[in-house]
């Protein structure tokens, strides 16, 4: 699927923020007409990964520092709320699943699948809340961040810290310390936002 291939390249940082997505060049690359290319671009635009402007074509989104701050502020609100709700309902079997996914994400962290593994862990954390619309909003915000996280290579620089944060969140949940888990998650998200902003600023110097 064309949309899936382009999405993968955007998420991996192969297509960087602001990259032009020419329908003509993409049609040649995939050996198709421009119709399926337009369909794929509409899908990606709907996911907030690209912008399509009349007479200017399509480009990968470019977030300003202010937009990144806003996204991370929203993520803190939505994800901490989701974890609070999840902690009130999480069952022992769900805790075991969260731990299984966390261990898998640790292994994924050293590969190109790091982002998928990271989201799998966070999704497992929030699913016991039973808030599918909220989860979809969180995923959309995280997807926009991922494009920039990959482009500015922020994950490799802080991988040990992020993985330790994941362990701390799960440990708090195991102890029944919901507030501790929420505080650990908030610190985790705020640190990720600051690090991305620092890398973006350094790239402009």
Predicted confidence (pLDDT) at residue 143 exceeds the cutoff of 80: yes
Question: In this predicted structure, what is the pLDDT of residue 152?
Answer: 64
The answer to whether residue 12 scores a pLDDT higher than 80 is no
pLDDT at 137 over 90: yes
Q: Write down the pTM of the prediction.
A: 0.84
The reported pLDDT for the residue numbered 124 is 97
| pLDDT(197) > 70 | yes
pLDDT of residue 153: 61
Structural tokens at position 119:
């989201």
User: Does 78 or 46 have the greater pLDDT score?
Assistant: 78
47 has a pLDDT exceeding 90: no
pLDDT at 205: 64
Higher pLDDT, 53 or 205: 53
Q: What residues form DSSP beta bridges with 21?
A: 58
State the Cα–Cα distance between residues 10 and 144, nearest whole angstrom. 10
- Using CA atoms of 143, 170, 85, 192 in order, give the dihedral in degrees to the nearest 10: -30
Structure tokens at 77: 């609100």
């Amino acid at each position: 699927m064309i949309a899936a291939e382009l999405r993968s390249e955007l998420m991996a940082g192969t297509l960087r923020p602001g990259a032009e997505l020419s329908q003509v060049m993409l049609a040649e690359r995939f050996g198709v007409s421009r119709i399926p290319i337009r369909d794929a671009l509409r899908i990606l635009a709907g996911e907030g990964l690209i912008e399509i402007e009349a007479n200017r074509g399509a480009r990968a989104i470019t977030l300003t520092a202010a937009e990144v701050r806003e996204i991370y502020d929203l993520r803190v609100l939505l994800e901490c709320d989701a974890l609070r709700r999840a902690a009130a309902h999480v069952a022992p079997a769900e805790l075991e699943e969260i731990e299984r996914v966390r261990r898998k994400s640790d292994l994924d962290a050293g590969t190109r699948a790091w982002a998928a593994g990271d989201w799998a862990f966070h999704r497992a954390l929030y699913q016991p809340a039973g808030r599918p619309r909220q989860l979809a909003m969180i995923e959309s915000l995280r997807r926009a961040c991922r494009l920039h996280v990959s482009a500015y290579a922020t994950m490799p620089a802080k991988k040990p810290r992020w993985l330790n944060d994941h362990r701390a969140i799960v440990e708090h949940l195991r102890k029944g310390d919901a507030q501790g888990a929420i505080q650990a998650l908030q610190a985790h998200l705020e640190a990720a936002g600051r690090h991305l902003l620092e890398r973006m600023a350094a790239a402009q110097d």
